[in-house]
Amino acid sequence: MLSPDFVAGVISVCGTFIHIKSARTEQFGFQIKMSPENFELLDYVARSLNLNQKPRLYREKNTEYLLLITRSRKKLLGCVIPFIDDRLYGPKLLCYLQWRSDVLKSV
C-alpha cells in the first residue's frame, strides 16, 4: 500500500473534482488522470482509496491516458472524502473544499 501522504500528493497533481449540474440532474465525481506508463501506480492509488476498480486506458486521436474515475455517491462519501480530508494543501485544497461542500449539501 502507498502512504496516505503520497496518495494525497498524486491527487494534488493529477486529481479532479467533478460537479455537473443541469436543470434536472446534479452529478458528482472524482477522477485521476495519468499517462499509460503509470498503470501500476494508479492501481495502487485506487486500492489505497478503496475504490475496488482498475484504471482504464483511453485513446483519443493521438493521445493515450489512464483514467480512474468514480461517480458513486457511496464511494465519494465513504472512501474519497474521508481519505482526502485534512490531507490536501495548496490550490487543489480550495477546489476540494468547494466540491466537498456541494457533495454534502446534495445528500
Question: What are the chain's domains?
Answer: 4-105 (3.10.28.10)
Q: Is the overall model pTM greater than 0.95, yes or no?
A: no
The pLDDT tens digits for 37-54 are 999 999 999 999 999 999
Q: 95 CB contacts (<8 Å, ≥6 apart)?
A: 17
The percent of residues above 70 in pLDDT, for the chain, comes to 100
| pLDDT given at position 54 | 94
Dist CA 67 CA 58 (whole Å): 7
Task: Specify the higher pLDDT residue, 68 or 107.
Answer: 68
Whether 62 contacts 105, CB under 8 Å: no
Task: State the pLDDT at residue 63.
Answer: 94
